[in-house]
Every structure is written in C-alpha cells, then in structure tokens.
Amino acid sequence: MRDWTLTRIIWVGDRGFTCADNRRALRSGDDHYILAERLRSGSAQAKAALGRAGRYGTVAGGLRVKEVQIAEGERFVVCHHPDTAKRDQIIRQRMLAQLTELIDGSDALSATKRAQLRGVISTKPGLNRYLRVTPGGLLRVDQAAVKTESNLDGKYLLRTSDPHLSAEDIALGYKQLFEVERGWRTLKTTLELRPVYHRLEERIRAHVILCWLALLLVRVTETTTGHTWHQLRDELDTLHIGTFTGPAGTYRQRTELTKPQRDILAGLDLTPPKKVIELTPAAAT
C-alpha cells in the first residue's frame, strides 16, 4: 500500500467475508469496508433491513437503493435491481415446476419411498428450499417459503463502516467487485488464460501479461462503444476478405461494411480497412 501511495482504502468483499472477525481486521488499519450481508442468514440485521420502510432512489444502470438505520457504527443499504428481480422470479418458477413434478403423486407412495424421494430432493438446495413435509410425512410445496423468497427478488444488502459515502457510492463501490469477478471470468473463458502450457517462467509471465492486455482492450472497447464484447465480436465476425482471380489478375477485397460495423469503427476512432487489400496483375504471356 505504501508503494501505491494509498492514503484512504475501502475494502470491498462479498457475502462470504462478512463475519465480525473479518470486519475488525479490515478496520484495524483505520480503513473502511463495503461488504454484502447474507439476506437468507436470518440475522437480526438482515431482518431489520428488510422490514424497514423507505423510498428507493434510482442510480446508474437502473439500480434502486435505500439506506436504513439499524445499528450504531455501521450503515446498511438495501439494493434492488428490477431486471435481476425478474430473472430471480423466472428461476424460482422453473424450480417450483420441477419440484411439483417430482412430488406429484407421491402421496400414493409408501412412507419409505417418500423418505427416499425427500432424500433425493435434499441434495438439491434450490428445490429443497421450497419443500415442506407435513406431520404425516407428505411432500408439499412450501408456500410460505415461496412468499419469503419472492420478497428477496433482485435484492441484496450492503453494510459499510464509512460514515461519509452516499448510498449511491456504496452501491456502485460494491458493483465494482462484480466487474473484477467478470474480468476473471473473461480471462479464464473468453481469453483462455488457463491452462498455461508454457514451461519457462518468462514465457508464463508473458502469456499472463498478454491476456491482461487483451482484457484491457476488451474493457476499453466495451466502455467506449456501450456494447458487450460478445455483441461486438458477433457483429465484426461478419466482416471478411475474399480472394478473387480473373483474366486481369488476382485481388483481395473485403465485404461491404454494415452500418453497425461502421458505427463500431467510428466509435473506436478506427479507420475502416481498405476495400481492396491487395492487387496482383496477371503475368504477361
């Protein structure tokens, strides 16, 4: 941190990092943190945050945020994203349909068979969350759990020790963690950082640096154009060069640029490739 001359640090972590010991460690250097809180943990903070009324404010990307007062020394921000809420609802509907199909007709099974089926469902956390077993051992969809989960659609809870950040900055600061994780996923999948087949250390380092530069290029391109890398690649993949031979010779020519392709190149301040790339006259006879 001294090498980077950092004077004010705010650590950002996900829900697996939010225990009290970790929070104390992050505060030991007089630094601050933004951490996600488990909404399904049943903690007093999560229950209180979800139970507090208040108006949401909309920030970048359609994200809705509201700060709730729960405890001294820490601030809590409830975040809600409508698009994520719709996705959560669709996923839950699929799981409920799958669970209903599994337990349909199970009343006619013996107690042993139902217990076996319950055991199978227990190995699937997503489905088991919505399973209810009656006192008589019958398998049902837990409608109370469905209602509880629907109240969590698109929501997550953040806690911070910083007394000065706005609710918007807290939410956007945590969102940066998603970008870091997305960068790692891109490195491992799109850019195929791993596996590394090189043997010598300098070649391994060169491989990693090239992948990092490629990731930087991807992110700069995305932020400049406002489109994802996959969208850009799909559009530019239709740009080809063909080789044609006739009595006058051989030439190579690119395909006509589409309007989206022209817009991409213009947005990146890139000169479109020449229409005729290479021309070789026929040999004199």
Specify which residues 278 forms β-bridges with. Answer: 252
* Residue 3 falls inside a structural domain: no
Same domain for 231 and 244, yes or no, is no
Same domain for 74 and 160, yes or no, is yes
Could you give the 3-state DSSP secondary structure of residue 131? strand
Tens digits of per-residue pLDDT, 185-196? 888 877 777 777
* Residue 108 falls inside a structural domain: yes
* Residue 176 falls inside a structural domain: no
- Alpha-carbon distance of 188 to 182, in angstroms, equals 10
170-to-17, 19, 64 alpha-carbon distances in Å:
17, 19, 12
Does residue 189 or residue 22 have the better pLDDT?
22
Same domain for 160 and 73, yes or no, is yes
Model pTM score:
0.66
53-to-67, 69, 161, 163 alpha-carbon distances in Å:
10, 11, 22, 21
Q: Which helix (H) or strand (E) holds 265?
A: helix 259-267
Q: What are the counts of helices (DSSP H) followed by strands (DSSP E) for the chain?
A: 10, 11
In one-letter notation, the amino acid at residue 30 is D
Least confident of 134-138, 139-143, 277-281: 277-281
What is residue 280's DSSP assignment? E
Q: Which residues of 43-77 are buried (b: 16+ CB within 10 A; e: fewer)?
A: eebbeebeeeeeeeeebeeebbbbbbebeeebbbb
Same domain for 227 and 247, yes or no, is no
Same domain for 63 and 162, yes or no, is yes
* Residue 231 falls inside a structural domain: yes
Same domain for 93 and 132, yes or no, is yes
- pLDDT averaged over every residue in the chain: 88
The DSSP string of 72-126 is TT-EEEEEE-HHHHHHHHHHHHHHHHHHHHHHTTGGGS-HHHHHHHHHHHHT-HH
Q: Is the pLDDT of residue 37 over 90?
A: no
For residue 217, the enclosing domain spans 190-235
Tens digits of per-residue pLDDT, 205-225? 888 888 889 889 888 998 899
Same domain for 25 and 132, yes or no, is no
Tens digits of per-residue pLDDT, 220-254? 998 899 888 889 989 999 999 999 998 888 989 99
Instruction: State the CB neighbour count (10 A cutoff) for residue 233.
Output: 13
Q: Is the pLDDT of residue 285 over 70?
A: no
Mean pLDDT to the nearest integer, 1-15: 82
* Residue 177 falls inside a structural domain: no
Same domain for 161 and 73, yes or no, is yes
Same domain for 227 and 216, yes or no, is yes
Same domain for 223 and 259, yes or no, is no
How would residue 40 be classed by pLDDT, with cut points 50, 70 and 90?
A: confident
In one-letter notation, the amino acid at residue 24 is R
Residue 181, classified by CB atoms within 10 Å of its CB into exposed (0-12), middle (13-18) or buried (19+), is exposed
Same domain for 195 and 224, yes or no, is yes
* Residue 173 falls inside a structural domain: no
* Residue 63 falls inside a structural domain: yes
Q: How many domains does the chain have?
A: 4
* Residue 180 falls inside a structural domain: no
Q: Is the pLDDT of residue 158 over 70?
A: yes
Find out whether 102 and 90 touch, Cβ atoms under 8 Å.
no
